[in-house]
Amino acid sequence: MQTLTDRVALITGAGDGMGRAHAILMAERGADIAIVDINTKGAEETAASVRKLGRRAVAITADVSKIAAIPDIVARIDAELGRVDILVNNAGFGQRVTTPEVDEESFDRMIGVHVKGSFFFTRAVLPGMKERRRGKIINISSIWGMTGAPVAPHYCAAKAALLGLTKAWAKEFAPFNIHVNAISPGGVRSGGPVKLDNAELLKEKEARVPLKRYCDPREIAYAVAFLASSESDFITGQMISPNGGEVIVGY
């Protein structure tokens, strides 16, 4: 197993769910963690879990769509933890609505959190990564960014945009030895499936997955930690989709 010793990871949306799982697993593997989340209590709880593992942690309360604050956030992390080696653009949310129900405010919010926040956090950590000629950037997309869905068109569009950014950044940043990849989870027992579906509907959805279940957030974190490690040093511009066989694309 590849360690992440002497690495610093910045994870957005790490106050609960998948983001917290990423933080804890990477801390177990030796990384110090910067947690950015709109939920102060959740961010502090994640930071406490990281510190219990003997790693340094910084918890910062922020709305990732408010981009004016992002340079100061990254500067604070640089000051307290030394640098950012790994960026996980994880912050996000779901909304089960159809096109007539999506007004401008909700559209802007969806794009702001998923796409705008990811773009400008990446932009903020880029100078340091270029100077060190080393970096790992991991964008958390979704199978809905691959396939679409009959609901949440703005969510599908935002997650697809992250895949586009992954491809573009991989080519732009490759000369600086900065690797950019994406994870597109299927059903995860956190976030939307748990918050938006009742137990009976969740069970029906899991039955349609070839492996007959949704995954634990830690199973997504394993893929993130792999892409954050030196084991993935010849992988860039790619997408991994841990989804239990729910979506299988051509090769």
**Hey, which residues are catalytic here?**
155
**Minimal CA–CA distance to 70: which of 106, 27, 118?**
118
Residue pair 205/143 in contact (Cβ under 8 Å)? The answer is no
**SS3 annotation, 61-125:** ECCCCCHHHHHHHHHHHHHHHCCCCEEEECCCCCCCCCHHHCCHHHHHHHHHHHHHHHHHHHHHH
| Tokens 């880029």, located at residue | 126
Q: Say whether 198 sits in a helix, a strand or coil.
A: coil
